[in-house]
Chain A
Amino acid sequence: MIIASQKPIEEIRETIKPYKKVLIAACGTCVTVCLAGGEKEAKELADLLSLSGDQEFRVVTPKRQCDSEFLEEFDKDVSWADAGLSLACGVGVQYLAERCTGKPIIPGLNTAFMGTNRDAGYWTEMCQGCGNCVLEKTGGVCPVARCSKSHFNGPCGGSSKGKCEVNDSIDCAWQLIYDRLKSLNQMERLFETIPPRDWSTSRDGGPRKIRRPDVAIEEVTE
Chain B
Amino acid sequence: MKTILAGKSRYMEALRPALHDAGFDTIAVETVSELKELPKEYPVILLQDTALNPLITNKKAAEKAIHGLEPKDLIVFLMDQNQDASPYIENCVLHIASHLAGLKRNIAVLLRSSRASDSEFDERYRTARKKGVAFVKYESIDLGSDDGKTRIELWDGRAKLTMETPLCILCEASPASELYAFADALHVRTYGDRAVSGSRGVSGGRWFLNQGTTLKRNVKLIHTDSLDQDVRSIVPSLIRELKKLYEPGQEKIAFVDSKKCAFCYTCYRVCPHSALAPDEDNEAMKAEELLCGGCGICVSVCPAGAISFRETEPEGTSDFREAEPDGTSEGEAVAQHTEAIGQHMAVMEQGTGASGKEVPKLKIFCCENSAFPLSAEALSGINAAIQPVACGGEISTSMVLEALKQYDSVLAAVCSDDACKHRDGNKRCTKQMERLKERLEKLGYNPNRISSVRIGITMADILREAALTALKGEVR
Contacts and interface: CB of A to CB of B under 8 A. Distances in A.
Interface in B218-242: none
Contacts of A10: 442-443
Contacts of B404: 51
B91 interface: no
B397 A8 contact: no
Given A33-B303, A38-B303, A179-B159, A13 B443 contact: yes
Given A13-B443, A176-B158, A183-B159, A120 B304 contact: no
Contacts of B263: 33
A24 to B, nearest CB: 13
Interface stretch (A41-49, A74-82, A186-194): A41-49
A154 interface: no
B401 A44 contact: yes
B445 interface: yes
B439 A48 contact: yes
Contact of B443 (A9, A40, A43, A119): A9
A176 B442 CA distance: 40
B38 interface: no
Nearest to B442: A10
A138 interface: no
Contacts of B398: 40, 43-44, 47
Given A47-B398, A120-B270, A8 B159 contact: no
A119 B114 CA distance: 11
B304 A38 contact: yes
B305 interface: yes
A68 interface: no
B303 A47 contact: no
A35 interface: yes
A183 B162 CA distance: 13
Contacts of A38: 262, 303-305
Given A33-B262, A51-B401, A51-B404, A40 B302 contact: yes
Contacts, number: 72
B57 interface: no
Interface majority SS (helix, strand, loop, mixed), chain A: helix
Interface string B411-432: 0000000000000000000000
A29 interface: yes
Residue in A32, A43, A47 whose Cβ sees the most chain B Cβ within 10 Å: A32
A9 B439 contact: yes
Nearest to B300: A40
Interface string A101-128: 0000000000000000101100000000
B160 interface: yes
A43 B160 CA distance: 44
A40 B266 contact: no
Nearest to B402: A47
B85 interface: no
B269 interface: yes
Contact of B304 (A28, A176, A179): A28
Contacts of B439: 9, 48
Contact of A51 (B264, B265, B397, B445): B445
Nearest to B404: A51
Nearest to B307: A40
Interface in B431-476: 439-440, 442-443, 445
Contact of B401 (A28, A29, A47, A117): A47
A39 B402 CA distance: 16
B194 interface: no
Most buried by A among B115, B158, B270, B404: B158
Interface string A21-35: 000000011001101
B303 A39 contact: yes
B393 to A, nearest CB: 12
A35 B442 contact: no
B130 to A, nearest CB: 19
A9 B440 CA distance: 9
Contacts of B270: 120
A119 B113 contact: yes
A199 B159 CA distance: 32
Contacts of A35: 264, 266, 303
B302 to A, nearest CB: 6
B160 A32 contact: no
Contacts of B159: 179, 183
A30 to B, nearest CB: 9
Contacts of B405: 51
A41 B264 CA distance: 15
A39 B401 contact: no
Contacts of B443: 9-10, 13, 48-49, 51-52
A10 B113 CA distance: 36
B303 A41 contact: yes
A33 B115 CA distance: 20
A40 B115 contact: no
A117 B305 contact: no
Contacts of A117: 264-265
A117 B442 CA distance: 28
Contacts of B303: 32-33, 35, 38-41
Closest 7 CB pairs of A and B: A38-B303, A33-B264, A47-B401, A120-B269, A10-B442, A39-B305, A32-B262
21 contacts: A8-B442, A9-B442, A28-B262, A32-B262, A32-B304, A33-B262, A35-B266, A38-B303, A39-B260, A39-B305, A40-B398, A41-B303, A48-B439, A48-B443, A51-B440, A120-B266, A120-B270, A176-B158, A179-B158, A179-B159, A183-B159
Given A32-B303, A40-B303, 14 more contacts: A9-B442, A33-B303, A35-B266, A39-B303, A39-B305, A40-B305, A47-B397, A48-B439, A48-B443, A51-B401, A51-B440, A51-B443, A61-B304, A119-B115
